[in-house]
Amino acid sequence: MATFVSGPVRVTVPATSANLGPGFDSLGLALSLRDTLSAEVTGEGLTVEVTGAGADDVPLDESHLVVRSMRAAFAAMDAEPSGLTLRCTNVIPHGRGLGSSSAAIVGGVTLARALVAGGQLLLDDESLFRLAADIEGHPDNVAPAFYGGFVISGREDDDWYAVPAGVDPRVGAVVYVPPTPVETRVARGLLPEVVPHADAAANSGRAALLVAALAGRPEHLLAATRDYLHQEQREPAMPESLALVHALRADGIAAVVSGAGPTVLAFTAGNDRELVARAPRGWACHALSVEAAGALVGD
């Protein structure tokens, strides 16, 4: 029978940007915006408190994504707390392509493991990542949220994999966040069932170049972030985002749609102030660094 630690446990989880242009469903990057979650095992019942992004929209019961993720991790450890109090302070925008759902999932499973005495012996990091990817259904945001940095991820046969890769310290990012969200389901629904072989070949070449560009050749980021598979196809759902991507790229700036959008990410190399000034009116803008750490337990 599992036992639980006394007192609250605190976890922080970074925002993430997936795809990064050509790395559709396979490349992800952790960014320096962090949600903070804390939880404590109590005598009975469930209490959920949320402040910040999404506070007026998310449920405050068992259907809350963090709670569902915690329950899945508890079940994997054969642990069932008598009651829970959960507090979430959200900074990552919801429905904007910056990995808010992955942060919730990774935060939830990490919290649950930390609340169980000896939890790391029951669920090691690899098992916890795989559980998070199972919950999300794909690993491209979950992997950098859990491990930090730049991660190449996917599925081989019946198992998830995640391979961290290096990022040149000169590389940063500016993200432009529009005021209205786009549902991932809607964005995915615009993708064609079949793409031309030439486009697939071009995309695979750019994805390979992107790994090298991020690792130490940032002068190639503009070419490396050219996408053939998903960005233009999603333009009807986010025309303002694609217009910004096109305008930035026309000026030689490596800009992409972040995840399923509608946030736009522009890679930087010391020109953050100039890029921040290009934010459209009414959009939020953040100059960020690549976050080397993923989910962190403690203060």
Tens of pLDDT, residue by residue over 101-158, are 999 999 999 999 999 999 999 999 999 999 999 999 999 999 999 999 999 999 999 8
Residue 282 annotated in ligand binding: no
In order of start, what are the domains of the chain with their CATH numbers?
9-165+292-297 (3.30.230.10), 172-289 (3.30.70.890)
Please indicate if the annotation marks 181 as binding a ligand.
no
CB 207 within 8 A of CB 22: yes
H-helix or E-strand spanning residue 150: strand 150-156
pLDDT digits (tens, 9 = 90+) for 273-290: 789 999 999 999 999 999
Q: Dig out the tokens for 29 from the structure.
A: 């990057």
What does the pLDDT read at residue 184? 77
The amino acid at 64: H
> Mean per-residue pLDDT for 51-80?
96
- Cα 34 to its chain centre, rounded Å, is 11
Which residue type, as a one-letter code, is found at position 157? Answer: D
Residue length of the chain: 299
Residue 95 counted as an annotated binding residue: yes
pLDDT at 299 exceeding the cut of 80 = no
Least confident of 187-191, 210-214, 261-265: 187-191
Per-residue confidence band for 271, with pLDDT thresholds at 50, 70 and 90: low
Contact (CB, 8 A) for 144 and 290:
no
Whether residue 98 is annotated as binding a ligand: the answer is yes
Query: Residue 81: is its pLDDT beyond 80?
Result: yes
Mean pLDDT of the chain: 95
286 carries a ligand binding annotation? no
Q: Any binding-site annotation on 101? A: yes
Residue 50 clears pLDDT 90, i.e. is over it: yes
93 is in an annotated binding site: yes
Which pLDDT value is given to residue 191?
86
CA–CA gap between residue 267 and residue 173 (Å, rounded): 4
Is 178 annotated as ligand-binding? no
Percent of the chain with pLDDT over 70: 99
> What pLDDT does 258 receive?
97
Rounded to two decimals, the pTM is 0.95
pLDDT band with cut points at 50, 70 and 90 for residue 3: very high
Single-letter amino acid, residue 236 = P
Cβ atoms of 217 and 208 within 8 Å: the answer is no
193 vs 66: which has the higher pLDDT: 66
**What SS3 state is found at 231?**
coil
Is 96 known to sit in a ligand binding site?
yes
Closest Cα partner for 294 from 154, 102, 134? Answer: 102
Q: Which of 255, 70, 269, 253 lies closest to 171, judged by CA?
A: 269
- Separation of alpha carbons 86 and 108, rounded Å: 10
pLDDT at residue 24 above 90? yes
99 in a known ligand binding site: yes
**Alpha carbon distance 230, 167 (integer Å):** 24
Give the largest CA-CA distance in the chain.
Answer: 61
What is d(CA 179, CA 51) in angstroms, rounded to the nearest whole number? 18
> In sequence order, which ranges of 42-180 are alpha helices (DSSP H)?
65-76, 100-115, 119-122, 125-136, 142-147
> Scanning the structure block, which residue is given the tokens 């990995």?
99
Bridge partners (DSSP) of residue 265 are: 175, 256
